[in-house]
Structure 1
Amino acid sequence: MRIGLITPEPGHPLLAATTALLAPDHAVEALDPVPLGDAPLPLPLADVYLLKSRTPHALDLARYLERHGAPVVNSAAATALCQDRTRMAELALRAALPFAATRTHASLSGWAASARLDAPVVVKSRLSRRGDLVGRVDDTARLRELAREWPHEPVVVQEYAPNSGWDHKLWAIGDQVFSALRRSELSPGGRGPTRPLPLAELPSGWASLVREVGAVFALDVYGVDIIDTGGGTPLIVDVNAFPGIRGQAGAPEALAALALRRAAERCEERAEERAEG
């Protein structure tokens, strides 16, 4: 099989470990997502591509490959949807997932000019990206301070749900779920270390909830951030397409198996197309 990696960082720990598993028997090649037309695509196309980048160039490349019949994990459409926190919330709530109620404002300064806060809220950039805005706001003074720093930023606003200060970081590769705890960036001490969390210690039903998120969002490799609002009651606060999943035993093996499975499915489809033609 030929497996393509759409990423500027093929040395990322998860990708590097997956490549090491695949390389003895399969061809693995990395495609640095640059503007289409600046570099020729290697031909023939790979049997499957893993999209480990969310830049506009990476999404354009993924769409191009999909139009030419190549399977991409995750699809460009699913990846792009997870970047837009408004669309993410709308889809999750329509599907009756326990997702945080979310309001959208065209600019932080525009909302801050008239906002009156009765309780703490979480303010996030509408577009998820590196270095985006994610912060807890307890009063109008803090809100207006943030508005001066991010005046034109489109934002989403969610009520702050009291919790332990630790996020449940859940990841899935296909049907396999991985879990850990990480101190929230909204906690008084800021983002902290990641702690191991055996899957068996998750509250009942949480692993199934993660798989349901994957089905709703059409994702194969993804992360779900959940907070426990008390007694094991989950509240989903974010969904990520193809996160790093660092340090999770079995994750490279699960990703290698998923890539080969998707590649084999595409090869079977091509064989059927040739037989019918």
Structure 2
Amino acid sequence: MRVGLITDDPGHPLLAATAALLAPAHGVQVVDPAAPLGAARDPADVYLLKSHTPAALALARDLEGRGAPVVNSAAATALCQDRAAMAELAVRAGLPFAATRSVDALGAWAAGASLDSPVVVKSRHNRRADLVARAEDTAGLRALARDWPDEPVVVQPFTANSGWDHKLWAIGDRVFAALRRSELSPEGRGPTLPLAELPPGWAELTLRVGEVFALDVYGVDVLATADGAPLIVDVNAFPGIRDQAGAPEALARLALERGRPG
């Protein structure tokens, strides 16, 4: 089977390890996401879409149009780049997702807003070096707005927590977990979390997210609320999933399962 990796970072640990597992018996090709549309005259049997740039999404749509399976699909990947659409779908599906308000331009909204409790402000469009910050009060919100006046954002109430996020990842039906310092309190990585130590039902919740968002490889950021209930604050298509034993094997197996028969 021929497997294409759509990425601008073929040395990423997860991709490199997966490619090494596949290479002895299968062809593995790195595909530049900026390659001209139609450059692949003979599409591979399956593609892994690790890049989320507009060019990568356009390439993935082109390949899908020619019958090539892409993991994750261009549509599912694009949905996860829009945090407002993400929240809307999650709530509609009954997932425990953080209350999310969409704002067209942070500066104009902050000028008239008044906060009586902290909020988390995130760029609406998920990308590298986007905005993810906590505003304690109205003054803090306006300080953010001075730096990001025209940024479309989503705003979520800040949920009191320990400062640790539960990072849950899925590759097909395999779930992985770890603790990570929140982006709002970045003091370093936490340990891998054995699934047996997850609260009851959280692994099943992770797989439910995949069903709702039509994702095969994804991450779910979850906070434990004061009563221990899970609160989803973000969903990511094809995240890094670093340092998780068994992840490359699971990804290699998934690629072969999703590939077209030869």
TM-score (norm 1): 0.92
Offset from partner CA, 1:212-259 (integer Å, 9 cap, x none): 000000000000000001343100000000000000000000000000
RMSD of Structure 2 on Structure 1 (CA): 1.1
Q: Which amino acid aligns with 1:262?
A: R
Match of 2:7 in 1: 7
Match of 1:250 among 238, 242, 246: 246
Match of 1:141 in 2: 139
Match of 2:52 in 1: 54
Match of 1:218 among 214, 220, 225: 214
Aligned to 1:50, what secondary structure does the other structure show? strand
Match of 2:261 among 251, 267, 270: 267
Aligned to 1:267, what secondary structure does the other structure show? coil
Provide closer, same or farther for how the CA distance between residues 237 and 191 of structure 1 changes in structure 2, counting only shifts above 3 A.
farther
Match of 2:161 in 1: 163
Q: Which amino acid aligns with 2:150?
A: H
Q: Which amino acid aligns with 1:23?
A: A
Match of 1:129 among 127, 130, 134: 127
Q: Unpaired runs of 5+ in structure 1?
A: 269-277
Match of 2:22 in 1: 22
Match of 1:151 in 2: 149
Q: Which amino acid aligns with 2:261?
A: C
Q: Which amino acid aligns with 2:143?
A: E
Structure 1 ranges of 4+ moved more than 6 A: none
1:43 deviation in Å? 3.6
**Greater Rg, structure 1 or structure 2?**
1
1:185 deviation in Å? 1.9
Offset from partner CA, 1:107-128 (integer Å, 9 cap, x none): 0001101001011100000000
Q: Which amino acid aligns with 1:198?
A: P
- Say whether the 8 Å CA contact 1:62–1:72 is kept in structure 2: yes
Q: How many residues align?
A: 262
1:193 deviation in Å? 1.6
Q: Unpaired runs of 5+ in structure 2?
A: none
- Say whether the 8 Å CA contact 1:224–1:239 is kept in structure 2: yes
Q: Which amino acid aligns with 1:179?
A: A
TM-score (norm 2): 0.98
Match of 1:271 in 2: none
Aligned to 1:186, what secondary structure does the other structure show? coil
Provide closer, same or farther for how the CA distance between residues 202 and 107 of structure 1 changes in structure 2, counting only shifts above 3 A.
same
- Say whether the 8 Å CA contact 1:124–1:156 is kept in structure 2: yes
Aligned to 1:113, what secondary structure does the other structure show? helix
1:35 deviation in Å? 5.1
Aligned to 2:239, what secondary structure does the other structure show? coil
Q: Distance in 2 between matches of 1:146 and 1:231?
A: 31
Q: Distance in 2 between matches of 1:194 and 1:26?
A: 35
1:192 deviation in Å? 1.9
